[in-house]
Structure 1
C-alpha cells in the first residue's frame, strides 16, 4: 500500500505544507514534484494523480503554495508569481534532499497555471529530469484576451484598488478565482465556475478568491517563451477546447522545446481531472515517464 507522509519545507519567511507519496516496496525512486494551478490546493484532485504515479513506483511530493491551502503566508489568498516560483524551487530542493528520492531523477508536474510555472522552473534548472505540463498556461496576454471584456474591466478596477490599498496597509481587495460569465472573476468562461468548483472536496482548505492585484501581473507572465531553454524532455498535455489557457499559443511555444512531446485531448480545461479524460491523460503521462525516467535506472550515490 502506498504511504503518504505529511511534511513541510521552508520557502521565503514561512513554510509550504506537502504530502510525500512513497511506493509500497520502498527503495530510492525517481520523484514527481507536483503543484496546482490558479488558486488551487492539493486536495483538488492532485492526490488522484499522485496515487496513480505512486502505484506505478514513483515518489510524489505534492505541495500547496504559500498563502494557499495548508501552507503558511500572510495575507491569505495572495497570488504572487514571484513567490510561487520560489515555492517551486524550494519544493524541488526538498525532494532532492529526501533519502527516498534519487536527486538526479526529479520530474516537474504542473497543471494549469502550475503548468506554466514548471516551464519557467525547468528553464532555470538544467538538473530537472523531465517535465509534464497539462492544461498549461503559457501566455498571459492570450489568457487575458480570452476573458470577457466586461469581466476584465471589473477585475482591473478591483486590482487597482487593491494595489493602492496595499500601499496604505489595508487588507487585500479580493476577486473570485472562478465565477459566472460577466462577473468580477479571473475565470468566467461558461465551464469555468462549475468545472473549477467541482474539483473542491468537502472541508478542503480552499477559498474561491485571490487578491485582485494579481490581475496586473498575469498579463506580463509568459512562461511559454522559455521552452527553448529547457534541456530535458517535456510533455505538453493540451486541451483542444481550453477556455482558460488557449491551445493555440501553447502549441506555438511547445514547438520550440528541443525535446517536447505534444498530446492533444478533445476536452475543455477542467475535463482532464476526472472520468475518462483523466484516465487517458494519466496513462499517457505514465508512458512518458517510462520512456524518459524509468524506474530501473541506477540511483545516484549520496
Structure 2
C-alpha cells in the first residue's frame, strides 16, 4: 500500500491497513523514496520512474516474507498511487489483484483541471528546476496543495481543506515537491495499463473528483478486461474519512474476500 502525490503513509493509510488486517489480510505500507520515513536525497523529489521502481521493490519484498503467500500479493494505491498500481501490476504480471482508489489516470485530464495560472507557474518553475538539476543545483519547489493562481500541483477549492487535514496533528510534513515533476505529469497516462492487466482490478471512482477527473478514468476502466468499478458521489479527499471511508473500505474488503479469499 502506498499513497498519492507527495503524501506519506500516516495520511490515513493506517486506517485502511487496520481494516484490512482486521479482515485477516497482511499489509505492507511504505513511503516512496525521498518522502516520509524512506531515504533519498534530495528530499521531496518525485520521480515517476523511481516510484514505480519502489513498487517493484515492495512487491519483491512482500513475496520474500515467509508468512506471506507469494502468489496472492495484492496492490493497493490511492490518487497518484492509484495510477502507479495499474502500471506496476501490468509490468509485474503476477499480482493476484489490484485496488486503485480515486486514481490518477490521465496527466492531460488532471492538468486541465488545474488553475491555468497555476499550471503556467508550475511549468516555468519546472523548467528552471530541470535545468538546474543538470548542474547539480538544489531543487526549485512548488506546493503540492494550494489555491488558485499559486504555483501548486493541486489548486481546486477542496484541495487545501481536504488534503492537508489528512496529516496527523504534530506529524512533520512538507507541502512542497521539486517542480520538475510538473513537466512529467502531463504525459503520464497510467490508465492505459488497464488494458494489459489480467488479474481482477477494482477501481473506486469519486464522481466529484477535482484532482483526478472521473470522466477519463471511467473511459479507461471500460477498456480493462478484468476491471470492475464502483462509483461514489464524493470528492477526491472525501473517501479518506467519515461515512465515505466506511463505505469504500467495506467495498474493498468485500472485493478482497471474493478474489483472494482467506484459507478456510
Q: TM-score, with normalisation over the residues of structure 1?
A: 0.86
2:137 to 170, 175, 197: 170
For 2:261 and 2:133, the matched residues in 1 are separated by 48
CA contact 1:41–1:205 (8 Å) conserved in 2: no
Following superposition, the deviation at residue 296 of structure 1 comes to 1.5
1:36 paired residue number:
3
Alignment match of 2:69 (pick from 95, 102, 108): 102
Which of 184, 188, 202 aligns to 1:235? It is 202
Is the aligned partner of 1:123 residue 2:105? Answer: no
More off after superposition, 203-212 vs 127-136? 203-212
Which structure 1 residue ranges, 5 or more long, are not aligned? Answer: 1-33, 298-302
- The match for 1:280 is 247
Matches within 5 A, 1:200-215: 200-215=167-182
* CA RMSD between the two structures: 0.8
* Aligned residues of 1:68 and 1:206 also touching (Cα < 8 A): no
- Partner residue, 1:146: 113
Cα distance between partner residues in 1 of 2:132 and 2:91 = 34
> Counterpart of 1:196?
163
- Partners of 2:40 and 2:169 lie apart in 1 by 23
Cα deviation, 1:168-188, whole Å, max 9, x if unaligned, reads: 211000000000122110000
Q: Identify the structure with the greater helix proportion.
A: 2
Aligned to 1:66: 33
Q: Is the 8 A contact 1:70 1:205 kept in 2?
A: no
Residue-by-residue CA offset, 1:47-68 (whole Å, 9 max, x unaligned): 0000000000000000000000
Higher strand share: 1
Give 1:161's match in structure 2, choosing from 123, 128, 140. 128
CA distance in 2, matches of 1:225, 1:68: 27
Moved more, 200-209 or 89-98: 200-209
Alignment coverage as a number of residue pairs = 264
**Separation of aligned partners in 1, 2:15 and 2:3:** 13
Question: Are 1:218 and 2:185 an aligned pair?
Answer: yes
Partner SS for 1:104:
coil
For residues 189-230 of structure 1, what are the alpha-carbon distances to aligned partners after superposition, in whole Å with 9 as ceiling and x for unaligned? Answer: 000111000100123342110000000100111011111100
User: SS where residue 234 of structure 2 aligns?
Assistant: coil
Q: d(CA) in 2 for partners of 1:205 and 1:93?
A: 29
Partners of 1:127 and 1:150 lie apart in 2 by: 43
Query: For residues 51 and 90 of structure 1, what CA distance do their matches in structure 2 show?
Result: 23
Output the CA distance in 1 between the equivalents of 2:247 and 2:193: 27
Q: Is 1:263–2:230 an aligned residue pair?
A: yes
TM-score, normalisation: structure 2: 0.99
Residue-by-residue CA offset, 1:83-112 (whole Å, 9 max, x unaligned): 000000000011110011100000000000
Q: Offset of 1:247 from its aligned partner?
A: 0.2
- Whether 1:54 aligns to 2:54 is no
The runs of at least 4 consecutive aligned structure 1 residues that moved more than 4 Å come to none
Q: Alignment partner of 1:105: what SS?
A: coil
